């Protein structure tokens, strides 16, 4: 299935783009997607413990199961305000 992935702030710079489409097996979890993303973009490996993830504009955990058309965002800790 196809998943749309967004990167923000420092991660956008690390990855060199703000979004991409990733093909992943049906029934995969967010954790599986993160592994693929870290393989595709090596600098993200260093960020492992602190990567924040959102699915369809809501915070989400690694065990979340993905479905076709989901919008995933990876970003570093926020610093607004």
Partner 1 sequence: MIEITREDFSVDEIVEGLQPRGVGAVLTFVGIVRGKSKGRAIERIEVEVYREMALKQLESIRYETIKLFGVEDVAIIHRFGSLKVSDRIMVIAVAAKHRREAFQACRYVIENIKKRVPIWKKEITVEGDFWVEDVKP
Q: Give the helix/strand (H/E) hosting 19.
A: strand 19-23
Q: How is residue 37 annotated by DSSP?
A: H
Q: Give the helix/strand (H/E) hosting 40.
A: helix 30-40
Of the two residues 26 and 57, which places its CB atom closer to partner 1 in the complex? Answer: 57
The answer to whether 60 contacts partner 1 (rule: CB under 8 A) is no
Residue 51 CB neighbours (<10 A): 15
Residue 73 CB, shortest distance to partner 1, in Å, is 6
Of the two residues 23 and 49, which places its CB atom closer to partner 1 in the complex? Answer: 49
> Which of 6, 22, 36, 51 touches partner 1 (CB under 8 A)?
6
Q: Give the helix/strand (H/E) hosting 39.
A: helix 30-40
The answer to whether 79 contacts partner 1 (rule: CB under 8 A) is yes
Task: Give me the residues that bind partner 1 (CB under 8 A), please.
Answer: 6, 8-10, 12, 54, 57-59, 73, 75-81
């Amino acid at each position: 299935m196809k998943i749309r992935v967004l990167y923000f702030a420092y991660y956008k710079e690390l990855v060199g783009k703000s979004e991409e489409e990733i093909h992943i097996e049906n029934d995969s979890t967010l954790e599986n997607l993160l592994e693929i993303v870290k393989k595709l973009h090596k600098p993200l490996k260093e960020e492992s413990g602190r990567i924040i993830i959102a699915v369809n504009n809501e915070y989400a955990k690694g065990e979340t199961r993905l479905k076709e058309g989901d919008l995933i965002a990876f970003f570093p800790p926020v610093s607004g305000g």
